[in-house]
């Protein structure tokens, strides 16, 4: 079993980390489209085109399933990918994340943070509305969080100021949400930063583990070990390895990152 995973950059490595934990017997090919990131500021048509090209590159390596480990691409490109390869399981991160938020929110007072494109596209809002129509959903684009995550600035005064500016009025106001979806794969590494502002009562929902569970159920994955990982990027092997190691939770050697052209 070889599973292809793609993202606009290194954030999707948080999803790969969860997939490997759930399906250690599987082989993975991860593609970060680092030459064209971020997807979050691109138009839907452009994101669909990029997603199809990334998936084509993975399919050329005989992957048997595709994981769209990018919230922006998951929101706009899943239908196009499924139409192109109807015989290949395609799983995104939006629906599993929305489902987890609906299950875990005590009162249905749900906040969603993500990139500009993810929020503007409304995929999370629509998914939550389908699953829990009575839920109240508030959204906010937190694009600077991406830069903070990539730089590793989790505990700096600048990071605290940005998080407070984005979230303080919600989390410390009169009607705070009871759950928050981290609607960008970069954001899980900022969990401690967000928690310092939100306190312990807020339920933080990261779609990575839920996505891994959904894929494992679709593929009938069994426990076991021995799986491998190939890393592909469209630019910057050194930066991919340096920053990506933080998201994957283990060291990536730049010599193990193959540069490809889409």
Residues known to be catalytic? 70, 184
3-state SS, one letter per residue, for the chain: CEEEEEECCCCCHHHHHHHHHHCCCCEEEEEECCCCCCHHHCCHHHHHHHHHHHHHHHHCCCCCEEEECCHHHHHHHHHHHHHHCCCCCEEECHHHHHHHHHHHCCCCEEEEEECHHHHHHCHHHHHHHHHCCCCEEEEEECCHHHHHHHHCCCCCHHHHHHHHHHHHHHHCCCCCCCEEEEECCCHHHHHHHHHHHHCCCCEEECHHHHHHHHHHHHHCCCCCCCCCEEEEECCCHHHHHHHHHHHHCCCCCHHHEEECCC
């Amino acid at each position: 079993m070889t599973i292809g995973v793609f993202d606009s950059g290194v954030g999707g490595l948080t999803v790969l980390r969860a997939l490997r934990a759930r399906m250690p017997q599987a082989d993975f090919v991860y593609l970060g489209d680092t030459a064209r990131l971020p997807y979050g500021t691109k138009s839907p048509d452009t994101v669909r085109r990029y997603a199809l090209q990334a998936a084509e590159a993975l399919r050329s390596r005989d992957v048997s399933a595709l994981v769209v480990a990018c919230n922006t691409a998951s929101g706009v490109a899943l239908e196009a990918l499924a139409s192109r390869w109807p015989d290949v399981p395609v799983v995104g991160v939006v629906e599993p994340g929305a489902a987890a938020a609906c299950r875990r929110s005590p009162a249905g007072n749900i906040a969603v943070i993500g990139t500009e494109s993810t929020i503007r596209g409304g995929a999370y809002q629509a998914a939550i509305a389908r699953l829990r129509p009575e839920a109240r959903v508030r959204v906010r684009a937190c694009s600077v969080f991406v830069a903070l995550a990539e730089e590793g600035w989790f505990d700096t005064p600048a990071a605290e100021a940005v998080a407070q500016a984005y979230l303080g009025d919600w989390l410390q106001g009169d009607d705070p949400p009871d759950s928050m979806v981290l609607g960008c794969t970069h954001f899980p590494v900022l969990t401690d930063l967000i928690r310092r502002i939100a306190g312990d009562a807020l339920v933080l929902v990261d779609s990575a583990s839920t996505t891994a569970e959904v894929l494992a159920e679709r593929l009938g994955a069994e426990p076991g070990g021995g799986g491998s990982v190939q890393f592909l990027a469209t630019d910057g092997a050194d930066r991919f390895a340096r920053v990506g190691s933080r998201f994957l939770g283990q060291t990536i050697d730049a010599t193990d990152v193959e540069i490809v052209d889409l």
